[in-house]
């Protein structure tokens, strides 16, 4: 999807109104698989950082146009979620917000609940569709848009940017080197190092909201993590919001909203130490990502001592740069708001190939899209999260045994095999029909604008060079465009988009480029068409609607049957108390008798809180931290599935800024009675002193 904001003086800044909103979208925090690493064993057991939706509504009172951009702390966005959001927006606002002007982008964190995409391959590692995740995302996204709509006020827009070093690396550098040397010579690095920032300011220059785009995978939290986490970009958002709302503001409760949204992050990793062998510590073979030891995996790690520390370091780099950019003068963004949108059936598309050297389309030739398919190297995973079995990067030959397994599921045609070459097809997802569609064929593409600022919102993960080509194509199609930004993983998820040259190397990103070697060429041509239509004020054909599988969805996720407290205990009882006194930097912990957290998502509330005693006489306590804060962890475990007993551990690492005083840990939840009904409970620990 492409959102285009163009910078050109065409209307008064007073004609623009902006509203911002933030809402909790946290999915079920226990016993639901995470979307991202495709690891069946990675199921949730609590919360590290809550998920939020951050909405930005722009209204051009001169032209009567509106647009909505929502950045969601989720792996990506699915058509089913967006479709339901639009349906409910229509009930409240009529035709004000439609598929033509609403863009919903996932940050791409790999540590949040899945089961909401309604494409079988994507929901398979989560054991199918999960209604709790689906409803949580819809409710939170809607609430953020409602809030932004209600807060519309006169505003102006500025654009600025800054450079961030040592926060990202290319995880497939050998693929990047396949791109033409003349093209690579235009750029200093093999990943984008620029943070692009759009900020919304009141007439009094008060910051209302900020959108930052920086190319990095939110995979600082690795595939051993079991706690919901918005990862590096999510924590950067919280840091910036606290800085602008006041450090005592609880996450999700401030009036200033700051997003770190996804962009062309396809081949970009935050694990800056690079790939090393699991046991020996030696640098991996970069081409195949292989190690010499028996069953020794190759994976990359971040700059910290563990994944939490790495997340903090990368997030802090993003935050520091964003705040520095915010303090510097920006470019005024003025001009009309406009949006165009089209659904595109990718296998039916043909387009002229694009020459990255001349930066022109060869209109004397045509290339075509393929039915979706995944290559062998897809199963090898990446150095951020290695795959399974004996699959390796760069595989361009097939295996008869795995082909037999593939053909049992769905057999590719001879045309499919030829179309995807040199990719050997491991899964012919475009031919699979049981139990329903495995991957999307129809994608959602948009172009929006504010004057001369252009943001390209795409339905997948563009690699570094793919994104660079897209920005150049859009800029050429809109001659007045001064800035172009890509917003990734928007509206529908259609995997990766590698360049045709990178496709030949068949590393993970290329093997996951599902519409074949000409995928990027088709997108480039389509977005050029849409951008030209927007500039001319034309409305493109809507295109074919994506199919609806909502009545065919299956799930193997077992429901919560009942909860029970151990003999002699009640829900909320603190069975392991904290010590009597702590100092800054210490970790306070307490354990409570708990119900299953899937009994209630508790949006806008929390499962765990830290409270400070304000008045002993009145027994008045103030919440100073929740399970959305960095310093806390809410960890849930089922003791016995048969008996239905559980416990929850609440941890708080005391920040150095904590005011000395009396504190306690508070746990909230809901339990499911064996004879029916769900009931709330709460309990708190003994008080303790922070000195």
84: pLDDT confidence band, cut at 50, 70 and 90?
A: very high
Residue 287's pLDDT is what?
A: 66
3: pLDDT confidence band, cut at 50, 70 and 90?
A: very low
Q: Is the pTM of this model over 0.85?
A: yes
- Nearest-angstrom CA–CA distance, 365 and 523: 16
With beta carbons less than 8 A apart as the criterion, state whether 178 and 186 touch: no
E strands along 92-193, which residues?
102-106, 153-154, 156-163, 169-170
* Catalytic annotation, residues: 269
Average pLDDT over residues 151-155: 97
Tens digits of residue pLDDT in 100-138: 999 999 999 999 999 999 999 999 999 999 999 999 999
Average pLDDT over residues 561-575: 97
Residue 73's pLDDT is what?
A: 98
Tens digits of residue pLDDT in 13-60: 458 999 999 999 999 999 999 999 999 999 999 999 999 999 999 999
Tens digits of residue pLDDT in 241-275: 999 999 899 999 999 999 999 999 999 999 999 88
Highest mean predicted confidence (pLDDT) among 68-72, 300-304, 375-379: 68-72
Look-up of token digits 């918005």 = 230
Average pLDDT over residues 346-355: 97
Q: Is the pLDDT of residue 9 over 70?
A: no
Residue 284's pLDDT is what?
A: 81
Tens digits of residue pLDDT in 46-58: 999 999 999 999 9
Average pLDDT over residues 454-461: 92
Residue 69, token pair as written in the block: 């951009």
Q: Is the pLDDT of residue 5 over 50?
A: no
Q: Between residues 457 and 444, which one has the greater pLDDT?
A: 444
Q: Is the pLDDT of residue 472 over 60?
A: yes
Average pLDDT over residues 627-639: 98
Residue 14's pLDDT is what?
A: 54
Average pLDDT over residues 338-349: 96
Residue 164's pLDDT is what?
A: 98
Residue 281's pLDDT is what?
A: 81
- Nearest-angstrom CA–CA distance, 211 and 473: 23
Which are the contacts of 350, defined by CB distance < 8 A and separation ≥ 6?
Answer: 366, 367, 368, 369, 522
12: pLDDT confidence band, cut at 50, 70 and 90?
A: very low
Percentage of the chain modeled with pLDDT above 70: 97
363: pLDDT confidence band, cut at 50, 70 and 90?
A: very high
Q: Is the pLDDT of residue 6 over 70?
A: no
Tens digits of residue pLDDT in 272-312: 998 888 788 888 876 666 777 767 778 889 999 999 999 99
Residue 245's pLDDT is what?
A: 98
Residue 1's pLDDT is what?
A: 45
Q: Is the pLDDT of residue 240 over 80?
A: yes
Each residue of 70-101: b (16+ CB within 10 Å) or e? Answer: bbbbbbbbbbbbbbbbbebbeeeeeeebbbbb
Residue 674's pLDDT is what?
A: 93
Of 81-85, 355-359, 378-382, the one with minimum mean pLDDT is 378-382
With beta carbons less than 8 A apart as the criterion, state whether 664 and 687 touch: yes
Percentage of the chain modeled with pLDDT above 90: 87
Q: Select from 3, 2, 4, 6 the least CA-distant residue to 334.
A: 6
Average pLDDT over residues 78-104: 97
Q: What is the DSSP letter of 613?
A: E
Average pLDDT over residues 683-688: 98
- Nearest-angstrom CA–CA distance, 82 and 341: 14
Q: Is the pLDDT of residue 365 over 70?
A: yes
Q: What is the dihedral of CA 192, 518, 371, 216, to 10 degrees?
A: 0
Which are the contacts of 442, defined by CB distance < 8 A and separation ≥ 6?
Answer: 343, 344, 345, 346, 492, 543, 544, 545, 546, 547
Average pLDDT over residues 620-637: 98
Residue 345's pLDDT is what?
A: 98
How many other CB atoms sit within 10 Å of the CB of residue 640? Answer: 10
- Nearest-angstrom CA–CA distance, 155 and 202: 5
DSSP string, 627-661: TTSTTEEEEEEEEETTTTEEEEEEEEE--TTPPSE
């Amino acid at each position: 999807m492409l959102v285009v904001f163009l910078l050109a003086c065409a209307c008064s800044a007073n004609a623009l109104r902006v509203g911002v909103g933030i809402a909790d979208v946290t999915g079920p925090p226990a016993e639901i698989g995470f979307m991202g690493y495709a690891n069946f064993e990675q199921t949730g057991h609590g919360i590290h950082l809550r998920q939020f939706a951050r909405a930005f509504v722009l209204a051009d009172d001169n032209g009567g146009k509106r647009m909505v951009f929502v950045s969601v702390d989720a792996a990506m966005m699915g058509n089913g979620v967006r479709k339901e959001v639009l349906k409910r927006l229509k009930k409240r606002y009529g035709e004000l917000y439609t598929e033509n002007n609403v863009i919903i982008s996932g940050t791409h964190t790999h540590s949040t609940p899945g089961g909401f995409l309604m494409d079988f391959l994507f929901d398979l590692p989560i054991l199918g569709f999960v209604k709790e995740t689906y409803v949580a995302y819809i409710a939170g996204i809607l609430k953020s848009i409602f809030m932004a709509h209600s807060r519309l006020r006169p505003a102006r827009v500025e654009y600025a940017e800054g450079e961030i070093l040592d926060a990202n690396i290319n995880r497939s550098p050998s693929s990047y080197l396949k791109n033409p040397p003349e093209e690579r010579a235009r750029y200093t690095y093999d990943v984008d190092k620029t943070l692009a920032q759009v900020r919304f300011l009141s007439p009094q220059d008060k910051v209302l909201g900020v959108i930052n785009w920086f190319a990095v995978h939110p995979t600082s939290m690795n595939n051993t993590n079991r706690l919901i986490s918005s990862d590096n970009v999510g924590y950067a958002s919280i840091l910036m919001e606290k800085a602008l709302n006041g450090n005592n503001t609880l996450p999700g409760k401030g009036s200033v909203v700051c997003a770190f949204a996804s962009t062309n992050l396809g081949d970009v990793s935050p694990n800056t130490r690079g790939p090393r062998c699991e046991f020996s510590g030696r640098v991996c073979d970069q081409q195949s990502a292989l190690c010499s030891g028996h069953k020794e995996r190759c994976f990359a790690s971040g700059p910290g001592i563990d994944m939490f520390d790495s997340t903090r370091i990368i997030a802090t780099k993003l935050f520091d740069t964003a705040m520095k950019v915010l303090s510097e003068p920006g470019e005024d963004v003025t001009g009309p708001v406009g949006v165009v949108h089209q659904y595109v059936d990718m296998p039916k598309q043909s387009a002229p190939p694009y020459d990255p050297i001349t930066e022109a389309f060869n209109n004397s030739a045509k290339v075509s899209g393929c039915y979706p398919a995944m290559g062998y190297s897809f199963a090898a995973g990446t150095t951020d999260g290695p795959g399974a079995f004996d699959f390796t990067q760069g595989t361009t030959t097939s295996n008869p045994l795995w082909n037999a397994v593939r053909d049992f599921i769905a057999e590719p045609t001879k045309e499919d095999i030829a179309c995807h070459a040199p990719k050997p097809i491991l899964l012919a997802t475009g031919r699979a029909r049981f139990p329903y569609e495995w991957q999307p064929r129809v994608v959602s593409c948009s172009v929006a604008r504010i004057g001369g600022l252009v943001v390209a919102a795409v339905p997948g993960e563009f690699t570094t060079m793919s994104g660079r080509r897209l920005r150049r194509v859009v800029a050429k199609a809109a001659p007045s465009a001064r800035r172009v930004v890509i917003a990734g993983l928007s509206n529908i998820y259609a995997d990766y988009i590698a360049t045709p040259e990178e496709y030949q190397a068949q590393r993970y990103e290329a093997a996951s480029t599902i519409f074949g070697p000409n995928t990027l060429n088709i997108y480039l041509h389509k977005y050029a068409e849409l951008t030209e239509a927007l500039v001319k004020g034309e409305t493109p054909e809507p295109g074919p609607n994506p199919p609806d599988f909502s009545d065919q969805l299956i799930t193997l996720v077992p429901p919560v049957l009942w909860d029970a407290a151990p003999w002699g205990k009640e829900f909320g009882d603190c069975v392991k108390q904290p010590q009597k006194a702590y100092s800054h930097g210490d970790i306070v912990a307490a354990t409570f008798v708990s119900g299953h957290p899937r009994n209630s998502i508790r949006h806008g509330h929390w499962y765990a809180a830290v409270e400070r005693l304000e008045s002993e006489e009145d027994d008045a306590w103030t919440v100073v931290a929740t399970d959305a804060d960095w310093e806390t962890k809410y960890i849930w475990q089922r003791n016995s599935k048969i008996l239905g007993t559980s416990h929850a551990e609440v941890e708080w690492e005391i920040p150095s800024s904590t005011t000395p005083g009396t504190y306690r840990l508070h746990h909230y939840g809901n339990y499911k009675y064996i004879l029916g009904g769900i009931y709330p409970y709460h309990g708190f620990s003994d008080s303790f002193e922070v000195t």
